[in-house]
Amino acid sequence: MSSVRRAAVVLVAASALALTACGPSEDGAAGGSGAPAATPSAATPSTPAKPTKPAESSKPSTPVTTPKPVKPSTPSKPVSPSTDPDYDVFPCSTYDVTFKASLAESTTSSYLLKVTNKSGKPCRVLGHPVVTFGDLDGQATERGAAPGIEDAIRLAPGESAYAGLMGGLKGPKSKTVSSIAMTMNTESDLEQVPLKASTPGFNVSEENSVTAWTDNAEDALSL
């Protein structure tokens, strides 16, 4: 064999030996593409998670009720005049009352005068009655003081007031009349129709007088 051929054989043998000594490539050792794939472990399939219930939407809060507008308080009604017993109580006139005269004392020919409220509303009897004597001039003089208008007797419908008409002893100048006439004191210019009452044998003299109105007969004759 020629020397050239031997050298070629030696070179081939040395190359094969060198390849055997090198072993797997670094790529195989490091798990590169040349390394066999690891057998996958049989993983237990995970139980699928239950779908999470959607969070319950919070219940809508009760809407705030808008407060109703407060109605303005109704102003109190003014007191009706009819509820005040002394409201607008006018003086009694002859149009409001009936009139009667009763003999109280025959010796002096004194009479008890009585007026009764016939109207449907109260009225006040003021001062003294105005008494005249039929066809004779003049009138009975006022006897004693009378209460003021604020303290005057208030006559409700059907109620009565009294006054005493004092006669006089018979004398040379006295006269008798069979009737008298009476009007009420109204402290005004109101024209009235005189009310008449029978007074047989009433003695008219300078001593005639009449008391202020009272609420009872006894006081009327004792004043």
How confident is the model over 168-184, as pLDDT tens digits? Answer: 778 888 899 999 999 99
Cβ atoms 128, 163 nearer than 8 A: yes
Mean pLDDT of the chain: 75
How confident is the model over 46-68, as pLDDT tens digits? Answer: 555 555 555 544 455 555 556 56
Task: Read off the amino acid at residue 104.
Answer: A
pLDDT at 61: 55
> Is residue 121 very low, low, confident or very high in pLDDT (cuts 50, 70, 90)?
very high
CA angle 199, 201, 134 (to 5 degrees): 55
pLDDT at 72: 56
Average pLDDT over residues 18-22: 43
Closest CA to 161 of 214, 110, 122: 214
pLDDT at 63: 55
Residues 71, 76, 78, 80, CA torsion sign: positive
Closest CA to 163 of 179, 191, 140, 186: 140
> Is residue 34 very low, low, confident or very high in pLDDT (cuts 50, 70, 90)?
very low
pTM as predicted = 0.61
